Amino acid sequence: MVLEIYLDLFSQPCRSVYIFAKKNGVPFEYKSVSLLAGEQYGEEFGKINVLRKAPAIRDGDFCLAESVAIMTYLAEKYKTPDHWFPADLQKRAQVNEYLSWQHSAMRPHGSKIFWLKLMIPRVMGTEVPKEKMDAALEDLDGTLKLFEEKFLQDRPFIVGDQISLADLVAIVEIMQPVGAGLDVFETRPKLSAWRDRVRDAIGAELFDEAHQGILSSQESAKSMDSSKLQHFKARILKKFL
């Protein structure tokens, strides 16, 4: 039985897993989960991941959630090139350091912009108050600043001369607000240069393919049936408003 990877490419962690698996030629069956339609709450998906999130994998009878855990599992199982998750003690630690930090920094701050700018107006029918948007932009700004100051510095990639899981996880999160129409690269030449190197290392075709959905969100948001998105309402009110 072939590895199954449950994905929705609107989701940042799904994109990193997808890109990693494709780039490394990991054989898998793409199992589509529509987060917009709430498929993660269905009975079938509950058997794969009771946390009801994507990505998730099923490898025989072994199910695994959490993109970071999935990628390190795939890296080990499929013996991917060392630079993705270096065996060197300090380099590996630096990758782990980024993968840990980003959960409470890049990920929520980037996600929030996407929700505030695009999803919430669609679901709730109103724009988000300016002060909330400003606060969210400020948080993302601070995070990007710290990213450049600590994690990137003057290196080509986070851990040195080659791309690793850290860069992959970073780029998919940074692309989320871009999908909502906020070009975070515009005023950040160093970040842009890094993005170009990452896209190159992944392969422009694969990178663009993975991001096609999110980059056309503004368009597809217009035709989104808001009545079908109401399952997000409670969560939005609790989390963002």
Partner 1 sequence: MALELYLDLHSQPCRSVYIFAKLAGIPFEYKAVDLSAGEHFGEEFGKISVVRKVPVLKDGAFVLTESTAILQYLVAKYSTPDHWYPADLQKRARVDEYLSWQHTNMRTHGSKVFWFRGVLPAVTGVPVPKEKMDSAVEDLNMSFKLFEEKFLQDRPFIVGEKISLADLVAIVEMMQPVGTGLDVFEGRPALSAWRDRVKKEIGTELFEEAHKTILNAASLQQTFENKGLPEFLKIRIQKMFN
Please list, residue by residue across 3-23, b when 16 or more beta carbons sit within 10 angstroms of its beta carbon and e when fewer do. bbbbbbbbbbbbbbbbbbbbb
CA-CA distances (angstroms) from residue 210 to 26, 98, 122? 16, 22, 23
Instruction: Work out whether 89 is an interface residue with partner 1 (CB under 8 A).
Output: yes
Query: How far is it, in rounded angstroms, from Cα 56 to Cα 31?
Result: 10
Interface residue with partner 1, options 37, 50, 204, 215 (CB under 8 A): 50
Residues whose CB falls within 8 Å of the CB of residue 232, separated by 6 or more in sequence, listed in order: 119, 123
Per CB under 8 A, contacts with partner 1 among 150-189 are 150
Interface residue with partner 1, options 9, 17, 33, 65 (CB under 8 A): 65
Stretch that binds partner 1, among 22-30, 146-154, 191-199, 227-235 (CB under 8 A): 146-154
Instruction: Work out whether 101 is an interface residue with partner 1 (CB under 8 A).
Output: yes
Instruction: Work out whether 22 is an interface residue with partner 1 (CB under 8 A).
Output: no
Instruction: Work out whether 36 is an interface residue with partner 1 (CB under 8 A).
Output: no
* Element at 193 (helix H, strand E): helix 189-202
**Residue 219 beta carbon to partner 1: minimum distance, rounded to whole angstroms:** 30
Tokens of 232: 């997000």
**Residue 42 beta carbon to partner 1: minimum distance, rounded to whole angstroms:** 17
Stretch that binds partner 1, among 33-41, 86-94, 189-197, 204-212 (CB under 8 A): 86-94
Stretch that binds partner 1, among 72-80, 117-125, 207-215, 218-226 (CB under 8 A): 72-80
105 exposure class (CB count in 10 Å sphere: 0-12, 13-18, 19+) = buried
**Would the CA dihedral through 109, 130, 218, 230 be positive or negative?**
positive
Query: How far is it, in rounded angstroms, from Cα 165 to Cα 84?
Result: 5
Per CB under 8 A, contacts with partner 1 among 109-128 are none
Interface residue with partner 1, options 30, 41, 103, 155 (CB under 8 A): 103
* Element at 138 (helix H, strand E): helix 130-146
Stretch that binds partner 1, among 34-42, 101-109, 183-191, 220-228 (CB under 8 A): 101-109
- In the chain, DSSP assigns E strands to 3-7, 28-32, 56-59, 62-65
Question: In the complex, which residues of this chain contact partner 1 (CB under 8 A)?
Answer: 50-51, 62, 64-70, 72-73, 76-77, 89-90, 92-94, 96-97, 99-101, 103-104, 107-108, 135, 146, 149-150, 238
